[in-house]
Structure 1
Amino acid sequence: MKLTGLSAAELLTLHADVADELRHREITRSSNNPAGDYAEYLFCKAFGWVQADNSVKSFDATDPATKMRYQIKSRRLTAPNTSRQLSALRNLKDQGFDYLAGLLFDRNYGIERAALIPYDQVLKLSKYGEHTNSWRFMLRDSVWLEAGVIDVSDKLRAMVIQ
């Protein structure tokens, strides 16, 4: 599909239509940037987790077998923006999750790297930002070297939708 000939309005309409279709296929749950919803979908499909309701603030999914709670965060890496800062973690000290399921997408939503990070490591590696009243977590390559971190990149790659 050649996009260069489309007007800005046509591109925005196409974007909206794509968002609607992804939601219809139950790959995403909202009309927001699809990275977060797609990450939740992939982790839940790969591990058999159950997604929490959208109103749940502390975690995104649970493992029915172990009752572990997972906060799922992702970042799409692009040439203009290679930041690995995940979206804000609120109320981190309340320990609302057991593991952070972190995922780095490439430009085309392919799996760059993914990990399950124990809460204690997330707390240790996060920085508090007073101006946002939240914690920042950078999903750097060094995270995979921390104690208890599990690399699940290949497991998630097997779930990627074609």
Structure 2
Amino acid sequence: MTSPLISKSLLQEELEACSVADLLLRHTQIHEALLARGVLRSANSPTGDLAEYLFCRAFGWQQAKASERGFDATGADGTRYQIKGRQIGRGNASRQLSAIRDLQGGHFDVLAGVLFGEGFKVLKAALIPVAYVIGKARFSPHTRSSIFMLRDEVWQAPGVRDVTAEIEATLR
């Protein structure tokens, strides 16, 4: 196998020579390959599916059906996890996670959140008790959902577990 640096350089040259149509075709082919491997579960942006895959793989959680309401996975002890990911990078520093529906409904016990950087590099990941999420989230009447920001302060909150190393190791 070639060196990652050589591969990256050759790949970059090859990609720069591609037309937009060729790049989009490759994107589709890569997405389909990740679907076939079980890393992704939908045709959506890979951020959420990748987050679910990494947390379930890292901790041995059972992934819920794609249509399950209010939680994404269950631990061996019955703990229900809502899993969210956010990709931040050039031109987008927002740490706002996707909508949390019916936050007060008791659908999950722990929010598992991960921040990805460029190229889906794991920046930070945490397991956050639902009580903390309820206390810090704000309700958006427009989307009829709760909004939660995965700010740095979350990692210092009582009951929050930093799992960055575990999630990072799973991606390797």
Mapping of residues 84-99 of structure 1, within 5 Å: 84-99=95-110
Cα distance, 1:11 vs structure 2:
1.1
Cα distance in 2 for residues equivalent to 1:111 and 1:21: 21
Residue identity opposite 2:113 in structure 1: G
Does the alignment pair 1:147 with 2:154? no
| Matched residue, 1:128 | 139
Query: Which residue is 1:112 aligned to?
Result: 123
Which residue does the alignment assign to 1:28?
40
1:53 aligns with 2:89: no
Structure 1 vs Structure 2: percent identity of aligned residues? Answer: 46
Worse-superposed segment, 5-14 or 68-77: 5-14
- The structure with the greater share of residues assigned to helix is 2
Instruction: Determine helix, strand or coil for the equivalent of 1:89.
Output: coil
Computed over aligned residues only, the root mean square deviation of the Cα atoms, in angstroms, reads: 0.8
Describe the SS at the equivalent of 2:146.
strand
Following superposition, the deviation at residue 95 of structure 1 comes to: 1.5
Distance (Å, rounded) in 2 between the aligned partners of 1:131 and 1:111: 31
Deviation at 1:157, TM superposition (A): 1.1
What is the CA–CA distance in structure 2 between the aligned matches of 1:57 and 1:80, rounded to whole Å? 32
- In structure 1, stretches of 5+ residues that fail to align are none
Q: Which has the larger radius of gyration?
A: 2
Give the aligned partner of residue 7 of structure 1.
19
Deviation at 1:38, TM superposition (A): 0.8
Task: Give 1:146 shift.
Answer: 1.0
Q: After TM superposition, where is structure 1 displaced by more than 3 Å over at least 4 residues in a row? A: none
Q: TM-score, normalised by structure 2?
A: 0.91
TM-score normalised to structure 1 length: 0.96
CA distance in 2, matches of 1:5, 1:90: 43
| The one of 123, 130, 138 aligned to 2:149 | 138
Number of residue pairs matched by the alignment: 160
Deviations 1:1-52 (A, max 9, x none): 2222211111111111010000011111112111111111110011000000
| CA distance in 2: counterparts of 1:113 and 1:119, whole angstroms | 18
